[in-house]
Chain A
Amino acid sequence: MSDSQQLDADRIRTLLESEGDEIKENTRLFNTERYDAVKAVGEGAHEDNRSQARAIKEDAIERLPELINRTREAVEANGGTVYVADDAEDANRYIAEVADNVDADSVVKSKSMTTEEMDLNEALEADGLDVWETDLGEFVIQVAEEVPSHIVGPSLHKSREEITKLFEEEFDPDEPLDSAEKLTAFAREYLGECIDDAEVGVTGANFVIAESGSIALVTNEGNARKCASIPDTHVAVAGIEKIIPSIAELEPFAELISRSATGQDIPQYLSLLTPPVDTPAIGFDGRDEPHFGNGDADRDFHLVLLDNGRREMREDDDLRETLYCIRCGACANSCSNFQSVGGHAFGGETYTGGIATGWEAGIESNDVAAEFNDLCTGCSRCVNACPVKIDIPGINTVVRDRINRGKDPGFDDVLVDGLVPDEEEPGTPLRKRFFGNFETVARIGSATAPLSNAVASTGLARKAMESVLGIDARRDLPEFRRTTLREWAASREPRVADPERRVALYPDVYTNYVRAERGKAAVRVLEALDCEVVVPDVGGSGRAPLSQGMIATAEKKAETVAASLLTYVEDGYDVVAVEPSDLAMFRREYEKLLPEAAYERLDGNSYEVLEYAYGLLENGADSDVLPAGDGDGVAYHSHCQQRTLGLEGYTEAVLERLGYDVLTSDVECCGMAGSFGYKSEYYDLSIDVGETLADQFEEAAAERTVIASGTSCMEQLDSLLSPGTRHPVELLDPERR
């Protein structure tokens, strides 16, 4: 491990211990509640909202300059002011001036990530103002002098006990604050006075409505309502990307935002404000005067629209969709790594979770994004969770590619053939090259097996791998097979005389060189179901290089693989894949790597092996040719990317049809995620994530066969439970009889 890897490892271990429990409990709860809420409203309705929301954002960002002008016109016509700030400093200076103009002593704020991005509090405090965060989560963070660990729940890494201790030390209250109720009552009282006393209220804006010059605020506590209505001066701060055309376009977002964030159908308070509002200005000087003090003050409204890198993001084809983000936090909640370690590791200067890479790369720099970008393993569980359909793993990959190039300008991700560790430049790019070119490693390893396995497993070799490549010595290495799946298949005679269908079984790198038995099982199962099966001579799909951010290499591989597989498709073959991460390349990632026509053709003609078996059985194939389950129990972990494609149900259905009793895990990812779990600095995190899965299966494993669709999942389960995890297709293998 290099020094910086050691530092990362230590930091992650510390956070797992200090914050992991709270983070896991809270994010997993949000995540479950989101699933439940989507189910309750209906997947179809939810999908409709997502599509609409996506289209509205695409259009709004496209028309942004025009919408900024319309917003300005509308707000000014209402009597307010719009200030478009180039950067954080510009925005802070403007807000300080506003405060100065009304001789403010104190400012109250409701939750706003954009003001966090600007470090507004620090700027105003430097000007001598008192600044109070009134969202209780933000208040906790302010008192603790920490930074938010989650976009939606800034303090969700803190337990109630920790908050009690913090508040009792800070405020020395007369009564102990030993319950959530007492803490809340105390904060309400304390902040209520701050709000009444403040001259300026700062809010964010979840949406800005151009046509009417309105803002929409989503809150549960009611503090944003107070900050917007009690002080005479209201400053709303929003990134320029928050503008939508009119009230009509708000509807799908009103449906989506709380459901995605916390599983609520609608927030407690959805404020639609078109300031200056008609609510009378409250005059505390005339405390006993009727009509709210008979104050003669006029309401004053300022909308600050922040650029801070956003216009450049808009021009950037790869980062643009980051601007569609509505900051719901679902990508963090659905992320296994985030659930374990939280935003203090998985986050940058301001933003946290998967989408933070896009934000931080856009508003800060690639260097800031580089500090946490590798925590995205590309498992893709956030993809379906995101209410505006952002390809979050895609953004992470692109930024990783940029970081690679930035770190090592000579970094050339075109396939490195030799793979001789370059001792002159031990660094991240070398390790990325190693994992990115795993296919070459596997090819050589297999050709020289079992010697290669024996050598690789020696203590000396493992030490060298750990120090040069940062491959953790506690992990078992894959054992290469001398006879590959392709060689085995080539030596077989065709078995099915009059086939129902013809299948090109894709020999992914793992199935070909390491887990050949599941490939053989797949061949026999498909043959038993009356398919002619060929195993084409085709290489890696590009998954390995893509996961390392080596996009050019991945693109090359994609072109080669698609060219080869599509000739089979032309000849009437269906493409069937055993490894879900490779199938996900064909069906998802290739969209960005291949010309549209090639992508669509392959996407439309490729199947996961159990999905395919399901189709055959549904269409009349005889299930009696496969061994029966006889009520045996299986504990099944579907693969993350397979679930994103919506395919886990096929495996369950086939197994149930054969008579198995299926228990399915509900963890998002096994934590191994290809190369991730091998990397020394992430070993502890990978194990922590894996244990959530292992815990679910621990008891069941005594009576049930543990099965998993992905190679990584099998490796993780083997190491955390006991060796012997199988691929579901192995249970279907006629040779098992």
Chain B
Amino acid sequence: MSTGSVEQFQQSLSRLDTASTAVVPDELASTVADLIEPPAVGAELPFDGLSLADAPVTLDPSPSRLREAVTGVSGSRMGIASLGTVAVESRAEGDEFVALYPERHVVVVRASDLRTDLSDAFGWLRAEFEADRQSFILATGPSSTGDMGALVQGVHGPEEVHVIIVRDNE
């Protein structure tokens, strides 16, 4: 499996009207804080050494907190450089709700987890399925509809997506 480039990933995201920021691990906490519009909820990140514990987000929120939240922060263990796609995993931490209810979704993805294209991403998916991790949403940009007579972003899912790409420490 080859690794997709951060630049290409960011280009793809910009085509999707999706903002992105590339940071080193130490900058993650402050970047998350900057990108949050409160109130915010989160699902703990699925990465060793990266956490939302100190970020201004409510982890494991109550249903009312979830409904009120303007921002949801979650992690993605895979990104597709050619498409700007991230993966929302169905986890007990509630990634799916955090990524779905609030208007703004902030996603954290590691540069080393980027795949070049869909075919490459399927290689990853096959391996995940083998390892019995079998529920993911491949999410590409904000939710949208053309059903009301014009293209509108922000339907049942987020209106705005912001991707934070965490590079390895140099």
Contact = CB atoms under 8 A, between A and B. Distances in A.
A290 B64 CA distance: 9
A187 interface: yes
Interface string B136-161: 11111111111111111011111000
Interface in A205-259: 212, 214, 220-223, 225-226, 229-230, 246-248, 250-251, 254-255
A589 to B, nearest CB: 35
B125 interface: yes
Nearest to B58: A290
Interface in A149-194: 153, 155, 158-161, 163, 179-181, 183-185, 187-188, 191-192
Chain B's interface size range is 35 or more
Contacts of B61: 290, 292
B2 to A, nearest CB: 16
A576 B154 CA distance: 56
Given A214-B134, A222-B155, A267-B140, A287 B62 contact: yes
B31 to A, nearest CB: 25
B94 interface: yes
A627 interface: no
Nearest to A74: B134
A290 B60 contact: yes
A159 B156 contact: no
Contacts of A292: 60-63, 66, 94, 97
B116 interface: no
Given A180-B152, A268-B143, A290-B62, A222 B135 contact: no
A225 B157 contact: yes
Contact of A270 (B96, B138, B151, B154): B138
Contacts of B90: 229, 273, 277-279
A251 B97 CA distance: 26
B91 A279 contact: yes
B95 to A, nearest CB: 7
Contacts of B150: 160, 179-180
A275 B136 CA distance: 11
A271 B147 contact: no
A37 B136 CA distance: 25
B118 interface: yes
A279 B137 CA distance: 12
Contact of B155 (A179, A188, A212, A271): A188
A288 interface: yes
Contacts of A223: 155-156
A271 B136 CA distance: 6
A385 B151 CA distance: 24
Given A136-B147, A184-B148, A272 B97 contact: no
B134 A187 contact: no
A140 interface: yes
Nearest to B128: A247
A274 interface: yes
Given A160-B149, A212-B134, A289-B62, A278 B91 contact: yes
B55 interface: no
Contacts of A80: none
Contacts of B119: 251
Interface string B50-85: 000000000011111111000000000000000101
A278 to B, nearest CB: 5
- Greatest chain B CB density within 10 A among A161, A230, A272 is at A272
Nearest to A255: B118
Contacts of A286: 62-63
A283 interface: yes
Contacts of B83: 265-266
B148 A187 contact: yes
Nearest to A212: B134
Contacts of A277: 90, 96, 135
Contacts of B151: 180
Interface residues of A, number: 68
Given A265-B83, A269-B137, A279-B95, A220 B63 contact: no
B97 A279 contact: yes
A287 B63 CA distance: 5
Nearest to B91: A278
A268 B135 contact: no
Nearest to B158: A222
A488 interface: no
A136 B155 contact: yes
B19 interface: no
A189 to B, nearest CB: 11
A254 B118 contact: yes
Contacts of B29: none
Contacts of B141: 268
A282 B92 CA distance: 11
Nearest to A183: B148
- Greatest chain A CB density within 10 A among B83, B96, B100, B149 is at B149
Contacts of B146: 153
Contact of B152 (A153, A181, A270): A181
Contacts of B63: 282-284, 286-289, 292-293
Contacts of B64: 287-288
A222 B148 contact: no
Given A269-B143, A290-B60, A292-B61, A188 B154 contact: yes
B47 interface: no
Contact of B122 (A139, A161, A254, A278): A254
Contacts of B147: 135-137, 139-140, 153, 155, 221
Interface in B92-125: 92, 94-97, 100, 118-119, 122, 125
A163 B126 contact: no
Contact of B143 (A191, A195, A221, A255): A221
A247 B125 contact: yes
A457 B54 CA distance: 88
Contacts of B122: 247-248, 250-251, 254
Given A184-B148, A279-B91, A279-B97, A270 B137 contact: yes
Nearest to B134: A274
A101 to B, nearest CB: 24
Given A184-B152, A288-B64, A274 B144 contact: no
Nearest to A223: B156
A134 interface: yes
B96 A225 contact: yes
A212 B96 CA distance: 20
A592 interface: no
Nearest to A273: B135
Contacts of B148: 136, 140, 160, 163, 180, 183-184, 187
A520 to B, nearest CB: 51
- Greatest chain A CB density within 10 A among B122, B134, B135, B156 is at B156
Contacts of B158: 222
Given A270-B140, A292-B60, 4 more contacts: A184-B148, A185-B154, A280-B92, A291-B60
10 contacts: A161-B149, A180-B152, A184-B155, A188-B155, A188-B156, A223-B155, A225-B156, A266-B140, A268-B140, A272-B125
In order of increasing CB-CB distance, the 10 nearest A-B pairs are: A160-B149, A222-B157, A274-B134, A180-B150, A222-B156, A136-B147, A277-B90, A137-B147, A221-B155, A222-B143
Interface of A: 134-137, 139-140, 153, 155, 158-161, 163, 179-181, 183-185, 187-188, 191-192, 195-196, 212, 214, 220-223, 225-226, 229-230, 246-248, 250-251, 254-255, 265-275, 277-280, 282-284, 286-293
